Chain A
Amino acid sequence: MQAKEVKLPLSNKEALLLHTGEIVSLFGTAYLARDAAHKRIAECLEQKKEPPFALSDACIFYAGPCPAAPGELIGPCGPTSSSRMDKYTIPLLDCGLSAMIGKGRRSHAVVEAMRGRAVYFAVTGGAALIISKHIVEVKEVAYPELGTEAVLKIKLNGLKAVVAVDAHCNDIFSCAEVKNERNC
């Protein structure tokens, strides 16, 4: 299957060019952040403090890797369930977040808030080892005390993903349901 190459960071305008269901290869910069980091970033924004990385055009990958074994740049690093981050996501979108990588459904509120500016990529849960092989640079950015939940800046080199929710509010997860209800 031919995958479309997508370079990160993605501008809001570029996000508009992607469509739900497309298979893409992701290249470029993303930030690992999951539950605990999101809670802290949300607190930063509430208190009008600087978040640990610039959110404008940023891509967040919801993941907390295994510790790196000797010889590894990063341990196995697959996606976690994105829906747990929904509660924190809209203020991040308002700060310019243009892409998210994770697995599973998003809330209607998040899908709606992505309209015209952001895209959500799904990667295969439980395929953590393959995914980690597509991470070619790792840099610690914030909250090292959170261990696996620390914020890391990573560089992706051709990570296969599916456009799960596009900037036009098309949602692969509800498409699957509707398709089934129509029995087609």
Chain B
Amino acid sequence: MRIVPASTIKEAVAGLFIDAVCSLPKDVLNAIEKAKKEETGAALMALEQILENSRLANVSRRPCCQDTGLAIVFIDLGEQVHIDGSLTKAVDEGAAFAYERAYLRKSALSPLTRENTLTNTPAILHLRLVEGDKINISVMPKGFGSENMSALKMLKPSDGVEGVLGFIVETVKANAANACPPVIIGVGIGGTMEAAALLAKRQLLRETGKKSASALLSELEEEALKRVNSLGIGPMGYGGKTTALACHIAELPTHIAGLPVALNMQCHCSRHKSAEI
């Protein structure tokens, strides 16, 4: 049994959030650079500003986007690890520390009274027990311009692959212009309602444009991306060829009666950072 103090988790979470909000992953920047060659006019101006903004954020260690999101934390905890202290508390304290220390926007509030929690916590924690003695932590400060544009549908088995593609294209068509395109599309197929949604969100952690290992899903990703990029929505919705930078799809076994599909929309400001302890 490996013993890890809760304070180590707290420090890691805090550091990851501060790093994540101030820099876009290299794969996202590369995808935007590539998209720039396809665009003109206002759409091109938007992509150039996004890249310049990212450079500025890196240098000044300030957030790329004012929406520093809800604090989402994914932890894969090795079964051979014992946390000395409270894991949940450590995650919340780490997130709260980051948002306070780095002058990030605290957007978390009570949904109906709209009273701000003033700490940007509780974090949304997705915890999995895995084999081994390591802890993998990924943080995702998730803005709500894109989160609001996500959708879930319980399709029928008879809807099949075309039904899934149709759902993806319709959701992007209706919503992407408001989600700070070019977007990254995370799709979870199968499982149950909540499992599909979480699977979709996990796809946003994938390296941008990295294909699924499954031939069927990889083909589906390519087809979905082709169809959404022919919608013409373009960067910031100004019209253009790049509505999405990538579509990442994963699946889970589901019930004989069902075909759940969830789409989690991510803006171009796709911030996430991981570490292993």
A77 / chain B contacts, CB cutoff of 8 Å? 66
* A148/B232 in contact, CB under 8 A: no
Interface residues of A in 124-152 (CB under 8 A from B): 124-130, 132-133, 147-148
Q: Which of A69, A80, A133 contacts B145 (CB 8 A)?
A: A80
Q: Is there an interface contact between A76 and B65, defined as CB atoms closer than 8 Å?
A: yes
A65 within 8 A of B: yes
**Other-chain contact of B177, A72, A160, A173 (Cβ < 8 Å):** A173
Cβ of B48 to closest chain A Cβ, rounded Å: 9
Interface residues of B in 226-277 (CB under 8 A from A): 230-234, 236-240, 267-269
Interface of B is mostly: loop
Query: Distance in Å from the Cβ of B84 to the closest Cβ of chain A?
Result: 33
| Distance, CA A89 to CA B52, complexed state (A) | 32
Question: Is B62 at the interface (CB under 8 A from chain A)?
Answer: yes
Interface contacts (Cβ under 8 Å), in number, total: 149
* B238 pairs with A126, CB closer than 8 A: no
In the bound complex, residues from chain A placing their C-beta under 8 Å from that of B67 are 78, 80, 128
In chain B between 22 and 47, which residues have their CB closer than 8 angstroms to a CB of chain A? 41-42, 45-46
Q: How far is the CA of A128 from the CA of B116 in the complex (A)?
A: 22
Docked-complex contact A67 and B103, CB < 8 angstroms: yes
**Chain A interface: which size bin?**
35 or more
| Interfacial chain A residues near B143, Cβ < 8 Å | 126
User: Is B212 an interface position by the 8 A CB rule?
Assistant: no
Interface string of B166-184 (1 = CB under 8 A from A): 0000000000011110000
On chain B, the residues within 8 Å of A125 by CB distance are: 65, 145, 180, 236, 267, 269
For window 52-103 of A, CB contacts with B under 8 Å fall at: 63-69, 72, 75-78, 80-81, 83, 103
Given A67-B105, A78-B66, A126-B267, 16 further pairs, Cβ under 8 A: A64-B105, A76-B63, A124-B46, A124-B49, A124-B236, A125-B267, A126-B268, A127-B49, A127-B50, A127-B65, A129-B57, A130-B53, A160-B45, A176-B177, A176-B239, A177-B233
